[in-house]
Amino acid sequence: MSQQNIRVRFAPSPTGPLHMGGVRTALYNYLFAKATGGKFILRIEDTDRSRFVEGAEDYIVEALKWCGLTLDEGEGIGGDFGPYKQSLRSELYNKAVEDLLEKGKAYRAFDTPDELNALRQDAESRKEVFQYDAKTRGTCRNDLSLSSEEVEKLLAEGTPFVVRFKTPDFAEDVVLIDEIRGEVNISSTVLDDKVLMKTDGLPTYHLANIVDDHHMEISHVIRGEEWLPSAPLHVLLYRAFNWDPPRFAHLPLILKPKGNGKLSKRDGDAGGFPVFPIEWKNHQTGNISAGYREYGYSPEAFVNMLLMLGWNPGDEREKFSLEEAANAFSLDRIVKSGARFSPDKARWFNELYLRESPHEDLAESLAKMAPKFGVNINSNQALSIVTMMIERVSFLGDIFESKWLFEPPSKETFNLKMVKKKWKDETASYIEDLKVMLEGIEDFKADVIEGEFKAFLESRELGFGQVLLPFRIALTGSGGGPSMFEFAEFLGKETTLSRIEKGLATVASIKKELKV
């Protein structure tokens, strides 16, 4: 198949928010299209109206846009193979069903839900599992077991029916070549006669996706491995229509951080991490689930993290832009086994991109988000804060957790354990002397402050730990943070001296209460 003919689709159902596993499926389709000069298509599979969720379709489009996955064709974009929403393609499905009925590859089944339940219960009583297939269809109510007169009567009476696919009457091996897993061989005897058209006249996934993939000239179906058991049925459907099937590639599951099983929203709720790309608001309940965007992840970091969950470039590289990933991407580098999600690794990717972002851009973002945290800073202050703090945070918003950056620490925010452990009886006098030294510095810059500080320690034969940490405690109430010399320059001389004075008084009060 030539590269010019490669067409892939991402085909989600608007039944809720897009899980990060779905985003990864979209990403791999997108990268494969870009790597081969093909087309990336969005198709909305909305034929299951009972599970339709308001706002889900718009959510899918917004999530893909945030991730930078630009569409070549699709709902809202257009193209030569539309419409790209299954609810608008009923004519094609009806024609396909009629074709299968005429060929004897499908049949009408009039069984009621109660009748099917009775068959299942009967099988269970014999410790068996009922399956509607070549062995059992003759005992059911369908146009294979009923006379033509009985069928005509049922149709004339308007009796509800479904259309089922007629699996082979005799056992055969159904073989498909998966681009990731190699040859997959499944006996037709394990397949049941799947419903292709429901009683409401709407197609099931099995029919609609086959018909759409054919008419949209999809060359590669790249989807999650949960669809692998359905692939033999799809191969048989392509054969029944006398159509050439696309190539299949079934992606590994994204596994929960610990234990067995697929990553779920429940795992995210329990572990304190998102599983959706962007915020999802349930219009029925009003419940809101934050996404990676709202947690503070950059789209580049999120996409890079997803890229490495199931694919490797064959070398030690981990950081890829979308363009770099497209240049390196191939289906044969996708792993077969499940990929375990790590919240720590996800944060690492965000830190990686955060560290490499231009400080000016981060400062602009920091200044814009500051009012949301009750803080007002100008662009120069924001740039200074970014320069000091960016190596110490996982997300830009984490900076606002260090409230001492913006206001003097209160007695309630002082680290009592640190005061008790590190503030000795003689410490106050050291800090008093340090304050006098700082008062004498005219050019209050970090390098000058550092030089004078070291001279101060040397003249008094003191170690760094005896003064630097108490200096930090006095100014921040905390035991960690950026360079104290950079922070003092940021505060300015007057504020630095004021904070030292207030800090000394606060520590004295704390120590008195602690009786240490």
Residue 393 pLDDT greater than 60, yes or no: yes
Rounded to two decimals, what is the model's pTM? 0.92
Measured distance CA(42)–CA(26) in Å, rounded: 9
Measured distance CA(262)–CA(223) in Å, rounded: 15
For residues 272-294, one letter each, b for 16 or more C-beta atoms within 10 angstroms of the residue's C-beta and e for the rest, the string is ebbbbbbbbeeeeeeeebebbbb
What's the pLDDT score for residue 4?
A: 54
Q: What's 253-281 look like in SS3?
A: CEECCCCCCECCHHHHHHHCCCCCCCCEE
Average pLDDT of the segment spanning 144-162:
97
What's the pLDDT score for residue 1?
A: 38
Contact between 453 and 404 (Cβ < 8 Å): no
Tens digits of per-residue pLDDT, 216-235?
999 999 999 999 999 999 99
Cβ atoms < 10 Å from Cβ of 265: 15
Coil, helix or strand at residue 339: strand
| Peptide bond preceding 83 in cis form (omega within 30 of 0) | yes
What's the pLDDT score for residue 81?
A: 96
What's the pLDDT score for residue 3?
A: 46
Residue 29 pLDDT greater than 70, yes or no: yes
Q: List all residues 6 or more positions away from 392 whose beta carbon is below 8 Å from its beta carbon.
A: 480, 481, 482
256 is catalytic: no
Measured distance CA(406)–CA(121) in Å, rounded: 69
What's the pLDDT score for residue 324?
A: 97
DSSP codes, 344-378: HHHHHHHHHHHHHS-HHHHHHHHHHHGGGGT----
Lowest mean pLDDT among 148-152, 365-369, 418-422, 440-444: 418-422
Average pLDDT of the segment spanning 38-57:
91
* Amino acid identity, position 397: G
Tens digits of per-residue pLDDT, 266-320?
999 999 999 999 999 988 788 899 999 999 999 999 999 999 999 999 999 999 9
What's the pLDDT score for residue 76?
A: 84
> What's the pLDDT band for 51 if we cut at 50, 70, 90?
confident
> What's the pLDDT band for 516 if we cut at 50, 70, 90?
low
Q: Which among 265, 345, 403, 502 is annotated as catalytic?
A: 265
Measured distance CA(447)–CA(450) in Å, rounded: 5
Residue 208 pLDDT greater than 90, yes or no: yes
Query: Which residue's entry shows tokens 């950079």?
Result: 486
Q: What percent of the chain has pLDDT over 90?
A: 94
**For the chain, first and last CA: distance in Å?**
80
pLDDT mean across residues, the chain? 95
DSSP, res 161: -
Lowest mean pLDDT among 43-52, 100-109, 307-316, 385-394: 43-52
What pairs with residue 154 in β-bridges?
none
Q: In degrees, to the nearest 5, what angle opens at C-alpha 69 toward C-alphas 67 and 74? A: 130
Residue 160 pLDDT greater than 50, yes or no: yes
Residue 492 pLDDT greater than 50, yes or no: yes
What's the pLDDT score for residue 176?
A: 93
What's the pLDDT score for residue 194?
A: 97
What's the pLDDT score for residue 2?
A: 40
Tens digits of per-residue pLDDT, 65-110?
999 999 999 988 999 999 999 999 999 999 999 999 999 999 999 9
Average pLDDT of the segment spanning 143-170:
96
Measured distance CA(84)–CA(77) in Å, rounded: 9
